[in-house]
């Protein structure tokens, strides 16, 4: 399947307090796979305001897409989603 040149944005849902060492890792793995296939990746977001320790979805001070935590920060999800699509 040739998906090179396609535009892709990744999002993830996780519990950053229970899974502090691997918060939203699957989103980072998806990002890496799509990027390796030549996709144009969009949607980086700030990692500020999260309490995880490590994540494969983090690139420096940013996440490789929208990461949400409905267990611990449900009150921030709607605003994060709105900001992500703007």
Question: 44: closest CA among 30, 58, 32?
Answer: 58
Tell me the per-residue pLDDT of 35-74, one tens digit each, with 9 for 90 and over.
999 999 999 999 999 999 999 999 999 999 999 999 999 9
Question: Residue 13 contacts by C-beta under 8 Å, 6 or more apart in sequence?
Answer: 24, 67, 68, 69, 70
pTM: 0.91
């Amino acid at each position: 399947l040739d998906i090179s040149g396609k535009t892709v944005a990744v999002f993830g849902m996780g519990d950053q307090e229970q899974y502090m060492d691997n918060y939203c890792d699957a989103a980072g793995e998806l990002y890496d796979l799509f990027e390796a296939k030549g996709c144009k990746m969009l949607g980086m977001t700030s990692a500020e305001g999260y309490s995880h320790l490590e994540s494969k979805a983090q690139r420096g001070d940013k996440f490789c897409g929208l990461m949400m935590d409905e267990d611990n920060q449900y009150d921030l999800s709607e605003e994060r989603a709105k900001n992500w699509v703007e």
